[in-house]
Amino acid sequence: MKTNKYVEELLAKSAEELQTELVSAKKELFNLKFQNATNQLDNTARIKEVRRNIARIQTVITQIDQGHSPIVRVHKPSLTACC
């Protein structure tokens, strides 16, 4: 899954790298919002994706600061579609 790979990449980074990643993601979000306001943005779903990435980065930073081991959730497919 794409999200799990991104989170694994975040977990492999140091605190300084995470901070720079957070700053660049916030700058990207600002630019996307500006483009959206001026009707220049084609892919509006990118705003939602960047917002979630910012939340993921902040979560990993918080877990590192509090001394917790970062948690990665793996979604398992449900078996509800049975005979």
For residue 46, which of 62, 34, 58 has the smallest C-alpha distance?
Answer: 34
What is the structure's pLDDT at 75?
A: 59
pTM of the model: 0.79
Q: Which residues of the chain have pLDDT under 70?
A: 1, 69-83
**Domains of the chain, CATH where assigned:** 2-65 (1.10.287.310)
Q: Are 63 and 70 in contact (CB under 8 A)?
A: yes
Q: How many CB atoms lie within 10 A of CB 69?
A: 8
Structure tokens at 59: 């979560």
What is the structure's pLDDT at 2?
A: 80
DSSP 52: H
What is the structure's pLDDT at 4?
A: 87
What is the structure's pLDDT at 28?
A: 98
For residue 32, which of 15, 59, 10, 51 has the smallest C-alpha distance?
Answer: 51
How far is residue 66 from each of residues 14, 63, 69, measured CA to CA in Å? 15, 5, 9
